[in-house]
Amino acid sequence: MTQPQNKPSFNLRFLLVTALLALLAILFIYAIHYDGAFFSVILFSQLFVLAVLLYFRRYLEKEITEIHLKKEEYLEEINLLNLDLKKEELTRKSLFQRVEAYARLKSLAEKLSLCATHLQAAEILADRVSELFSGDRTTTLLYLSYPTTGDLGLVVAVKKGSRIQILSKKGDMFDAWVVKNLKPLLIESARTDFRFDAEKNAPLKDDREYASLIAVPLMVGVKILGVLRVDSPEEKYFSTDDLRFLSRIADLGAVSLESAQLYEHLQDLAIKDGLTGLYLRRYLWDRMSEELPRQLRRKQEMSLLMMDLDHFKKYNDRFGHVAGDIVLRTLSDLLIKHFQQPGNIVCRYGGEEFAVMLPDCSKTQAQALAEDFRAQIAQAEIVLRREKTTITVSIGIASFPSDAQIKEELVQKADQALYAAKQKGRNKVCLA
């Protein structure tokens, strides 16, 4: 700020002018009453006083000018201070928003860390994004990439906090652009964006319409796991800050999704056979321990099939062990397709022996399923070393609770029935 200069006081000058005027009045009175020659002195005195008044006027004008200048300086400083205050307020709000955003990310990270499956992680991620981006006016979509083909598949679609059905299961050209370029995408107008074909920019005929969107790739390193997208029926609904925030969420979500997938893979390695992809024996025993009490409470039957490849050794001796592995994988694929009812457990019991647990299935129903499968296997052709061959299976069936009361006894009864099928010439189904 400008410091005030040291000048004579305004009051001092005013007193001086007042004193001169008083002296002039005294001289004028003296000249009238005592000596007329004083009028000449009075005239010179008036001229002197006039000169002093003119000087005093110029001084006042200068003072007024300086006051105005100081006032303008003060106003300018006030404006600058107001601008600084506004900047500080904006900075404070920005910091508050960042703190709030990171708090939300921390909460999301804690929830994602508790997910045991990648589907559970995907649902939590989509739900949270829908909340953060005004779920009542937006639709959140999460696509995951199929490892074998690389195509996108819709996993979760959320609007107003609820799951919705979307016709476009593989995404549109905007999602394809994100996958191809591995970059975030902001579309202010889905119909007029110059980067895309205007004729194809119209949204698909879903139960919703969108005019703007943001989409980011879910990536870990150079590996893409899917696409996270939020769209709105309003144009220019999203900003670059929204896209940046969604990218941070996607980075966090991608790590959680990969961790969940790795955990599921480790679980599969622990309970599934590496050659056939079927469950292992210990998993079957664990599930039977859970299923038998449930069947007992519901007063339902449960059947167990024990199955063995007939003359499997001859395939290994004739065609080699690689051919034997092909036979085992072929049989496993057919087992999965034939017994794909929810709740059924198909496992590799050991070597060329397999087991199928059929909850809520009577012995009669199990026999019909087993006969159909036995006939299907007998008719199937397998090419081994450019030679067509066929395989057959023997099957034994036991049911709970009619044949056994505990899982060990149930397995034993089914195994005895399997042995009986072999004794009768193989390629047969026998009941306990």
Active-site positions?
352
Q: Nearest CA to 377 among 363, 360, 364, 390?
A: 390
Could you tell me how many residues make up the chain? 432
**Half-sphere exposure at residue 188, Cβ-oriented, CA atoms within 13 angstroms:** 5
Sign of the Cα pseudo-torsion (381, 382, 383, 389, in order): negative
Question: CA-CA distance, 325 to 60, in Å (whole number)?
Answer: 112
- 157, with CB counted inside 10 A (0-12, 13-18, 19+), is buried
Question: CA-CA distance, 47 to 38, in Å (whole number)?
Answer: 14
CA dihedral 414, 419, 420, 426 (to 10 degrees): 120
Q: Which amino acid, residue 235?
A: E
Alpha helices (H) along 114-190 = 118-132, 173-181
Three-state secondary structure call for residue 215:
strand
| Cis check: omega of the bond before 217, within 30 degrees of 0 | no
Question: CA-CA distance, 364 to 93, in Å (whole number)?
Answer: 72
Q: Which residue in the block uniquely carries the two structure tokens 């010179």?
A: 44
Q: Nearest CA to 186 among 241, 143, 141?
A: 241
Strand 279-280 relative to strand 212-220, pairing: unpaired
DSSP for 80-124?
A: HHHHHHHHHHHHHHHHHHHHHHHHHHHHHHHHHHT-SSHHHHHHH
Q: Which residue in the block uniquely carries the two structure tokens 């089914």?
A: 414
The H or E element containing residue 431 is strand 429-431
In angstroms, what CA-CA distances link 266 with 115, 260, 271, 272? 15, 10, 9, 10
Three-state secondary structure call for residue 313:
helix
